[in-house]
Structure 1
Amino acid sequence: MPKAYAFTRYGGPDTEALVELDRPRPGPGRLLVAVRAAGVNPVDWKIRGGLRRPGETGERDFPSVLGSEVAGVVVETGEGVTGFAVGDEVFGNALTGGYAEYAVLSDRLAAHKPAALSFTDAATLPVAAATAYDGVRQLDLPSGATLVVVGAGGGVGVAAVQIARAFGLRTVGVASEAKKDLVETFGATHVASGPGWTERVREAAPDGVAGLYDLVGGEVFPEAAQLVADRTKLITAAAPPEEAARLGGARVARLRTAAVLRAVADLVVSGDLDPHVTRTYPLERAGEALRHVEDGHARGKIVIEVAA
């Protein structure tokens, strides 16, 4: 039976296990994919802890496979699927969990993988890179404007500063001192996080801040809002919608479309976006991969590679 890495109840790492499950069947509008690579994201362990995505109702069936993004090869298509065929190399959001030998994708949330894009890099794009892309496009800043990315050292932040640069924006990345080299590598002006960070941003952007993309939330978000004169150019992927609205800003509007997946893939192929995969693990060590992200030690994207 196919293997998968799942959690058996809500809780901590002790709920995780490598299990054998029946091969999923694709329903109408669905693709069954033989997984070649799965991205690892903070949202994975948060879901294991009980986080519900917007619109989710009811309880999960356990064991529940971890993982939100995959790249692989189509092995079966469901009724009504058009544009995809068995043998196609694809990537997208996993509906049945991604840390597995097989995963089901929606044909609306999947895209063809360009030949020049590796499975490993493709598996990093549907969550972090797509979120970054949606946010930068939502801000719609003119070329040459200054965008501040708060939390620029994380997966979404690293993608956001690169995508902003590809759109002709100047970026200021707020991150820990330990991630200074990482932020500067991708073309952003680094500003150290911590007490006094807003003043340091003002010094780094003497002509003003045209837009701000918050990826931290908490106490940092209200401080960040003070940097933006036009609050319609204040967005967050971390603070609750009501907090964003109170400050005059908005949550990032996730489009979740194949068009966005194709756009970020094209940026990788063109050299404008480096997925920055720093470590890979086999499926049998998926728990180690998730610990690396959950413990905050990752300095780039972590990917689980599944043998063909």
Structure 2
Amino acid sequence: MPKAYVFTRYGGPETEAFVDVDRPSPAPGHLVVAVRAAGVNPVDWKQRAGFRRPGESDERVFPVVFGNEVSGVVEEVGEGVAGFTVGDEVFGTAVAGGYTEYTLVPAAIAAHKPAELPHTVAATLPVAAATAYDGVRQLDLPPGATLLVTGAGGGVGAAAVQIARAFGLGVVGVASEGKKDFVESLGAVHVPSGPDWAERARATAPDAVYDLVGGQVLAEAAELLTDRTKLITAGAPEEDVRRLGGARVRRGRNAAVLEEVARLVLKGDLDPHITGTFPFDRAGDALRTVEAGHASGKTVIEVAR
């Protein structure tokens, strides 16, 4: 039977385990994908701790397979799917979890993987890079404007910095002092996070803020703007940012976005900066790396075939 890395209840790392699972059947509108690589994101461990995305209300059925973004090979095609055939290399968002050998991917939010794009790179794009792209597009800033990104040293933040630079924007990246060199290597002006970060950032006069942290950081970032419609977040609930006059990132969740971020990678404008690659049997170690909060860029799990 296929293996999957799961959490068996809400809690900490003690809830995690490898288990045998049934190979998924090709639901209508879906692809059964043999996973070659899975991206690791902070939301993975947050969901284990009980976090719900905006709009999620259904109780989870345990065990729950970790992960949301994958790259792999189509094994079966569900009813009503057009444009994909068995053997196609694809990447997209997994609805049945990504830390596993086989998963279900809705065809509507899957894209063909370019042959020159490794599975490990493609697996970093459906969540982190696509979220970054959607946010920068949503702000719709003119070339030459300045975007401030909080949490600029993480997977989404690093992608947002690079995509904004590719669109001709100036970027200010808020991140820890330890990530200064990394943030500056992306083309951003680094502002150290921590107490009084907003005062340090004020001199940069940002035209917009892309927040990836939430909480007090989001509230302080809002004070830097005269036009609060240019405040967006992927790090805080809808009600928090609306109270400040801003909005959540509106996710595109379609193949066109995936194809565009892949194009940016191939063009050299976007580098996921994969800083950790783990074999499948060390999925827990990969998750610990991200959960510790010190990793720059992206962490990936390789599922051998």
TM-score where L is the length of structure 1: 0.97
Distance 1:11 1:201 in 2: 36
- What's the Cα RMSD here? 1.0
Q: Does 1:262 align with 2:265?
A: no
CA drift of 1:196 comes to: 2.2
Corresponding letter in the other structure for 1:109: I
Distance 2:128 2:229 in 1: 23
Distance 1:197 1:292 in 2: 25
Three-state SS of the structure 1 residue aligned to 2:99 is coil
Corresponding letter in the other structure for 1:56: E
Corresponding letter in the other structure for 1:270: K
CA drift of 1:12 comes to: 1.2
Query: Residue 304 of structure 2 corresponds to which residue in structure 1?
Result: 307
Corresponding letter in the other structure for 2:284: G
**Aligned with residue 234 of structure 1, among 228, 231, 235:** 231
Distance 1:61 1:195 in 2: 41
Q: Does 1:176 align with 2:176?
A: yes
Superposed, 1:52-91 pairs within 5 Å as 52-91=52-91
Distance 1:19 1:81 in 2: 30
Query: Residue 7 of structure 1 corresponds to which residue in structure 2?
Result: 7
Query: Residue 248 of structure 2 corresponds to which residue in structure 1?
Result: 251
CA drift of 1:199 comes to: 2.3
Distance 2:124 2:224 in 1: 31
Superposed, 1:136-285 pairs within 5 Å as 136-203=136-203, 205=204, 208-285=205-282
Work out the number of aligned pairs and report it: 305
Corresponding letter in the other structure for 2:281: E
Query: Residue 105 of structure 1 corresponds to which residue in structure 2?
Result: 105
| 1:234-264 CA-partner distances (Å, limit 9, x unpaired) | 1111122122112111111111111111111
Distance 2:221 2:53 in 1: 25
CA drift of 1:93 comes to: 0.4
Distance 1:254 1:264 in 2: 14
Three-state SS of the structure 2 residue aligned to 1:219 is helix
Distance 1:11 1:215 in 2: 23
Corresponding letter in the other structure for 2:56: E
Corresponding letter in the other structure for 1:275: P
Distance 1:24 1:55 in 2: 25
| 1:96-140 CA-partner distances (Å, limit 9, x unpaired) | 000011010000111111112110000001111111111100000
Three-state SS of the structure 1 residue aligned to 2:98 is coil
CA drift of 1:198 comes to: 1.9
Structure 1: gaps of 5 or more residues: none
Corresponding letter in the other structure for 1:148: L
Three-state SS of the structure 1 residue aligned to 2:28 is coil
CA drift of 1:284 comes to: 0.8
Distance 1:170 1:117 in 2: 28
Distance 2:154 2:281 in 1: 25
Distance 2:44 2:197 in 1: 30
Distance 2:32 2:2 in 1: 13
Report the identity percentage.
70
Structure 2: gaps of 5 or more residues: none
Moved over 4 A (4+): none
CA drift of 1:22 comes to: 1.2
